[in-house]
Amino acid sequence: MTDSMAMLILIAVLGLYGAAAATCEYPLRKAVISFAQKNYLALAERQHKIADAVLMGTLSFDQEKKQLVKTFQAGLDLVTPTVTLNLCELQPASAGTAAAGRTTSLPT
């Protein structure tokens, strides 16, 4: 199982947002959500079959809006409730100091 698959399984279990935000699960949820925001688009671009496979249950990917979408049962609502997670674009590494030929040393 890849790191991305494990991350999305955790999202499916913990949810994008929810009641556990006030419990001991909050730090794990925050880390998983951050990892998904930063890495899912890259996974979908490089290995779209795996990206599709790890979305289970009511999680889906809206490629046009670049969002993960959690869909809930409609119940008595007229519109099916959803929660979305906006995903981050990857920034090119060429803007870093190493690309400019400079090195940075840490204080000792």
Question: H/E/C letters for each residue in 6-28?
Answer: HHHHHHHHHCCCCHHHHCCCHHH
Q: Which two tokens stand for residue 40?
A: 């899912």
Q: What angle do CA 44, 50, 53 make, to 5 degrees?
A: 110
Q: What is the pLDDT of residue 86?
A: 93
pLDDT in tens, 36-79: 899 899 989 999 998 888 888 888 999 999 999 989 888 887 88
User: Which residue carries 């999202």 as its tokens?
Assistant: 11
What is the pLDDT confidence band of residue 97, given thresholds at 50, 70 and 90?
A: very low
Query: What Å distances lie between residue 82 and 70, 78, 106, CA to CA?
Result: 6, 12, 46
Report the alpha-carbon distance of residue 35 to residue 87 in Å, rounded.
Answer: 10
